[in-house]
Amino acid sequence: MNYFDKEINKKYFNIGEVAKSLNVNTSLIRFWEEKFDILNPKKNKKGKRKYTKYDIRILNEIYNLVKEKGYTIKGANSIIKNKNSSVNQNEIVESLVKIKKSIEKLRDRI
């Protein structure tokens, strides 16, 4: 396999790459950043945005809700916030279960 056949696994993507993948203008992505608190890409020292795969998933969800399903910004924001709060609760419960098991193992050793 030569160099050009390898799949490149990038950690960060610039706004142009993200806009191209969504087939939207970069200005729309900047607008969504202002309207959706959950969307907060990292910025380098020069202020250039660096999007992670997580950011891109959120943008895809926003695109799906606003452009394809016709939700308002407010409606899409509400759906995304509710979805993320339930995901966070599940992650918290999973973490607590792991901690409980660790404590039980320590207790059994004593």
**CATH code at 52?**
1.10.1660.10
| SS3 at position 1 | coil
Confidence tier at 48 by pLDDT (50, 70, 90): very high
Domain that holds residue 58: 3-109
Q: How many domains does the chain have?
A: 1
Is the pTM above the cut of 0.75? Answer: no
Q: Average the pLDDT over each of 12-16, 34-38, 78-82 and give the range with the smallest value.
A: 78-82
- Average pLDDT in the 83-92 region? 65
Q: Which residues contact 71 (CB under 8 A, 6 or more apart)?
A: 65, 79
pLDDT of residue 85: 58
C-alpha span between 50 and 52 (Å, rounded): 7
pLDDT of residue 25: 97
